[in-house]
């Protein structure tokens, strides 16, 4: 079946512009996660959703970052007033539920470059 | 705060060699540990998931062990192949998911 998809695959933007990243999870997966990987660093957890709810937003790097999920499916990660330090690969994952026994399946990522 | 460390950062071996990748974590109160593979330009592929109650998991030429009390996990790759060349990440789950920085493996033909 179809895996996790993300769009766009690449995004180049100018500093100060807003960007929106999209994640389409595996059908039927209730849990959805956003991560980012900056150059030379490990993966950084940003936020997770159980259904449409994100109980903990503390992992988001700043208040310029926001995420939403509607209909328990597609999620968007929005970065306002982008900065050069926002350049990274943004990864989305989904799992059947939030249980620790559920494997997370990752999408291919969106490579964001802020000039 | 949970910290995950992977050693070595990079490893180069000739084809056919058996090898071990190491992962350590500071807080043993985890739900599970996963090993992932990351190929350049691609997303992560989950290789093995070990629950906190388990000691090891095996899949083909891969064997992952978990010693929760000492905060260590190893990923053993038998009879390495050039196609195994990738970055290998370990991640532990407690309330969040924490990743190590990865080990970049190169298997030379």
Whether pLDDT at A16 is above 70: yes
Cβ within 8 Å, pair A41-B101: yes
Of B34, B51, B101, the CB nearest to A42: B101
pLDDT digits (tens, 9 = 90+) for B45-76: 778 988 889 999 999 999 999 999 999 999 99
Looking at residue A79, its pLDDT comes to: 98
Whether pLDDT at B25 is above 90: yes
Whether pLDDT at B81 is above 70: yes
Mean predicted lDDT score pLDDT of chain A: 88
Whether pLDDT at A41 is above 70: no
Looking at residue B43, its pLDDT comes to: 59
pLDDT digits (tens, 9 = 90+) for A48-63: 888 888 877 878 999 9
* CA atoms within 13 Å, Cβ hemisphere of B11: 25
Split at pLDDT 50, 70, 90, the class of A100 is low
Split at pLDDT 50, 70, 90, the class of A29 is very high
Looking at residue B11, its pLDDT comes to: 95
Mean pLDDT, rounded, for A36-59: 80
What 3-state class would DSSP assign to A86? helix
Looking at residue B5, its pLDDT comes to: 95
Cβ within 8 Å, pair A42-B89: yes
Cβ atoms B84, B77 nearer than 8 A: yes
Looking at residue A99, its pLDDT comes to: 64
Split at pLDDT 50, 70, 90, the class of A44 is confident
Answer whether A59 touches B (CB < 8 Å).
Answer: yes
Rounded-to-integer distance, Cα A77 and Cα A59, Å? 13
Q: Which of A100, A107, A110 to mutate to test the interface with B (most CBs of B within 10 A)?
A: A100
Q: Which of A10-14, A27-31, B81-85 has the lowest mean pLDDT?
A: A27-31
Strand partners, A111: A10, A89
What 3-state class would DSSP assign to A72? coil
Mean pLDDT, rounded, for A73-88: 96
Residue-wise burial string across B77-101, b where 16 or more C-beta atoms lie within 10 A, e elsewhere: beebeeebbbbbbbbbbbebbbbbb
Q: What is the dihedral of CA B58, B60, B61, B66, to 10 degrees?
A: -10
Whether pLDDT at A83 is above 60: yes
Q: Which of A43, A50, A57 to mutate to test the interface with B (most CBs of B within 10 A)?
A: A43
For A17-66, the DSSP string reads --EEEEEEPPTT--EEEEEEE-TTS-EEEEEEEETTB-S--TTSSSTTEE
Highest-confidence range of A1-5, A44-48, A68-72, B72-76, by mean pLDDT?
Answer: B72-76
Cβ within 8 Å, pair B34-A100: no
| A4 contact residues in B (CB cutoff 8 A) | 43
């Amino acid at each position: 079946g179809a895996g996790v998809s993300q769009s766009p695959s690449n995004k180049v933007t100018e500093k100060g512009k807003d960007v929106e990243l999209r994640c389409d999870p595996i059908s039927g997966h209730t849990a959805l996660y956003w991560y980012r990987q900056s150059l030379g660093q490990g993966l950084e957890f940003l936020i997770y959703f159980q259904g449409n709810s994100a109980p903990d937003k503390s992992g988001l790097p700043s208040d310029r970052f926001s995420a939403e999920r509607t209909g328990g499916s597609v999620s968007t990660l929005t970065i306002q007033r982008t900065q050069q330090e926002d350049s990274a690969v943004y990864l989305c994952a989904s799992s059947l539920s939030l249980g620790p026994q559920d494997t997370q399946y990752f999408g291919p990522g969106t490579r964001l470059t802020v000039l | 705060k949970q910290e995950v460390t992977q050693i070595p950062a990079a490893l180069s071996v000739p084809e056919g060699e058996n090898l071990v990748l190491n992962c350590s974590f500071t807080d043993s109160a985890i739900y599970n540990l996963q090993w992932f593979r990351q190929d350049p330009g691609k997303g992560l592929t989950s290789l093995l998931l070990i629950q906190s109650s388990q000691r090891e998991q095996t899949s083909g030429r891969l064997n992952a062990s978990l010693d929760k009390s000492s905060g260590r996990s190893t990923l053993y790759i038998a009879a390495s192949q050039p196609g195994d060349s990738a970055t290998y990440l370990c991640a532990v789950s407690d309330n969040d998911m924490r990743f190590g920085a990865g080990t970049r493996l190169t298997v030379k033909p």
